[in-house]
Amino acid sequence: NSLRLNQERFRLDIRKHFLTERVVKPWNRLPMELVVSPPLDISKIHVDVVLRDMV
């Protein structure tokens, strides 16, 4: 995805256990469609509008 995070190298091994370091690889593996998707509440509004128009 275009919003990739960079993982730095550190001398101390303890840094790899920090949450900010543990999420880098999973985040970078996410598909682009998921990364740039709108928030759930906005998506729900769009679905409601489409369903309302169908009735």
Assigned token pair, 3: 């919003």
Residues contacting residue 1 through CB under 8 Å, at least 6 positions apart: 28, 30, 31, 32, 35, 36
What phi and psi, each to the nearest 5 degrees, are found at residue 31? -70, 150
- Give domain status of residue 24, yes or no: yes
- Give domain status of residue 30, yes or no: yes
- Give domain status of residue 25, yes or no: yes
Top-confidence residue, 2 or 26: 26
pLDDT band at 1 (very low <50, low <70, confident <90, very high): low
Domain count for the chain, please give it: 1
Q: What is the pLDDT of residue 9?
A: 73
Give per-residue pLDDT as tens, 31-50: 888 788 888 888 888 888 88
CA distance 51 to 46: 9
What phi and psi, each to the nearest 5 degrees, are found at residue 15? -60, -30
Domain of 46? 13-54
